[in-house]
Amino acid sequence: MASIAVIGTGYVGLVSGACLADFGNTVTCVDVDEKKIESLRAGQIPIFEPGLSDVVARNVAAERLSFTTDASQAIQAAEVIFIAVGTPPSDDGSADLRYVEEAARTIGRTIDSYRVVVDKSTVPIGTGKLVKKWIAEELAARALQSPTSDLSHEFDVVSNPEFLREGSAVYDFMHPDRVVLGIESDKAREAMRAIYRVLYLNETPFIETNLESAEMIKYASNAFLAVKITFINEIANLCEKVGADVKAVATAMGKDGRIGAKFLHPGPGYGGSCFPKDTKALADIARKNDSPLKVVEATILANEAQKLRMVDKIEEALGSLKGKKLAVLGLAFKPNTDDMREAPSLAILAALVSGGARIKAYDPEAMKEASWRLQAIDDHVTYCAGEYDTMKDADALVILTEWNQFRNLDLAKVKRLLKTPVLFDFRNIYDRVQAEALGFAYIGVGR
């Protein structure tokens, strides 16, 4: 067990901090966002993530978890400091490291004895070394200012990339397929083993390697998953042309142990806070190292095209988008999250509106996020109170996110509410034969 500071209290920092506290560590989560910390202190969870509020409440009550905006205080009190700030994409696709640098420099300006600094943010290969440099620079600057004090503290940097999935983040953190540690000293190894003792006892696979490999594992894993999704999306598109059903194709492919069934569900393209930015960042690293990743480059392009392909499918079926009213179910990039970062719905709705359509949308959790991200088309989007509210007088129903509550709609009622019974099932959650038997024109992906 250890005392821990987590710098950055977003999706990853809050989940990691709460779960590390649940493992018995004492954790302080730090953020620069005062409103976020205030609301956490008041017992409110700023994001929608199943199970998170219970873990937070339990560990706050046990006095193992607290929240602050005072980074220095949290760093001083901690043996191990996690960096879990955002690494958003820059204009050229590379990861913007300004928040990581700020966190590292704050650590360098604060520590006065040995610390383990753990990078949990997804960062370009080589960032671990940069974090070391930034901390060392701050220590050196302090040494210059007060030459009599000893500031030549040792510290270690560990890379511990995070693989949790939004929507099942708490479960994933507590039951990871593997924990990756880029680690270079026995002292740091000992500290990490103490922190993750519960997972060692569970016989979770731990992979220890150097900093660069740990950083690469995260990007390579996300890029591979993005490629897999994009592969089945392109196969789905081809299925449509040649009369094959991608559902049967994917099911049979997935039975092959070398392929596996996961991430073989075609849809409107991947989104979220990770795959789009991580594929771009990895492609950028590859280009800069003169070792291009053509598969990843092609995936990025194909994914953009896939979102707009959904718009083409709607336009083809409805004739023109002009004056059409569309009921849209699901805005988040996947179910069980309110995260709208790079959600396919953003590009799809913008294109539908620019083609002349009006949107009536509903998402169980993401409408607040969606409304500010879609401000530019605000006049053309109405946010509704429930799934059936979207459908009255609409020309078609478009399913963009497969929330469970959209899987079991009363299709007879849907048909009664819609002006024309057209179902764009872009997550393939309905049975074509059943929908057609009820009188719907059914348009899925790859079927």
Per CB under 6 A, residues contacting ligand NAD are: 7-13, 30-33, 36, 71, 84-87, 99, 102-103, 121-122, 162, 164, 166, 273-274
Q: Is 209 exposed, middle or buried (0-12, 13-18, 19+ CB in 10 A)?
A: middle
Which residue, 269 or 444, has its beta carbon nearer to ligand NAD? 269
Which residue, 117 or 353, has its beta carbon nearer to ligand NAD? 117
Closest approach of Cβ 15 to ligand NAD, in Å? 8
Kindly provide the residue ranges of all beta strands, DSSP E only, lying in 31-168, ordered along the sequence. Answer: 65-68, 80-83, 115-119, 155-159
Contacts by 437-442, CB closer than 8 A, 24 or more apart: 438/411, 438/412, 439/415, 440/411, 440/415, 441/317
Closest approach of Cβ 435 to ligand NAD, in Å? 33
Closest approach of Cβ 7 to ligand NAD, in Å? 5
Which residue, 31 or 369, has its beta carbon nearer to ligand NAD? 31
Residue labelled with tokens 């997804």: 122
Amino acid letter for position 175: H
Q: Which residue is nearest to ligand NAD (CB)?
A: 10
Which residue, 47 or 443, has its beta carbon nearer to ligand NAD? 47
Rounded to a whole number, what is the distance in angstroms from the first to the last CA of the chain? 52
Closest approach of Cβ 107 to ligand NAD, in Å? 10
Q: Considering Cα of 166, then 168, then 170, then 173, what sign does the dihedral take?
A: negative
Cβ distance 161 to 220 under 8 Å?
Answer: no
Q: Give dist(CA 74, CA 30) in Å, integer.
A: 7
Q: Give dist(CA 123, CA 97) in Å, integer.
A: 8
Q: Give dist(CA 84, CA 31) in Å, integer.
A: 10
Which residue, 73 or 185, has its beta carbon nearer to ligand NAD? 73
Residue labelled with tokens 């220095």: 72
Cβ distance 167 to 401 under 8 Å?
Answer: no
In the set 19, 29, 239, 274, the catalytic residue is 274
Does the annotation count 29 as an active-site position? no
Cα-Cα-Cα-Cα torsion 277, 283, 284, 290, nearest 10 degrees, comes to 170
Closest approach of Cβ 49 to ligand NAD, in Å? 10
Which residue, 108 or 421, has its beta carbon nearer to ligand NAD? 108
Closest approach of Cβ 163 to ligand NAD, in Å? 6
Indicate which residues carry an active-site annotation.
274
